[in-house]
Amino acid sequence: MKKHLLLVVGVVFLLAAGDAEDEVKKELARFEGTWKWVLIETEKMKLPEDEISGPRMKLMGDKFTVNESADATFSGTFKVDPSKKPKTIDVTFTDGPDKGKTFLGIYELEGTTYKVIVDPEGKSRPTEFKIKPGSGYVLQVLKREKK
């Protein structure tokens, strides 16, 4: 009887893990495309639109590439957990000025708008989309470009 119960629990756990993986894959597919920034804000400043209108970020699977300019490109990977409330994201840079760093954050992805707030120091995860004094958080809003 105990073996049967353990087997049933094990199968249920594996099915749940498979469902979670499927949800993550579906969520990652929603990110795919090219995005442009419409807002970048920190505690101390909001970047002017003309400074953020040029760079683009391409998302494919769990990878990203940012083209800041013709000679400045960097990339990395990201992990999402759509089961959390709010949804969480961990962004890890594989090159560029933040190479090796992981930013902890939360995000919303609705239609063509991607909103994210991160801790660039990776010390704490934001819990809401507000810049709190002393947090060091960075709030960003991006729009998907039309294909």
- Using CA atoms, how far apart are residues 115 and 82, in angstroms rounded to an integer? 14
What residues does each domain of the chain span? 2-144
pLDDT at 6: 43
pLDDT at 20: 73
Residue 81 CA from chain centroid, whole number: 9
- Asked if residue 106 lies in contact with residue 116, where contact means CB atoms within 8 angstroms, the answer is yes
C-beta neighbour count of 38 within 10 angstroms: 15
Residue 86 CA from chain centroid, whole number: 12
The per-residue pLDDT string of the chain (147 residues; one tens digit each, 9 = 90 and over) reads 444 444 444 444 444 445 678 899 999 999 999 999 999 999 989 988 888 888 999 999 999 999 887 677 899 999 999 999 999 999 999 998 899 999 999 999 999 999 999 999 999 999 999 998 899 999 999 999 986
118 CB-contact burial (10 Å; exposed 0-12 / middle 13-18 / buried 19+): buried
pLDDT at 23: 93
Q: Is 2-144 a CATH 2.40.128.280 domain?
A: yes
pLDDT at 18: 52
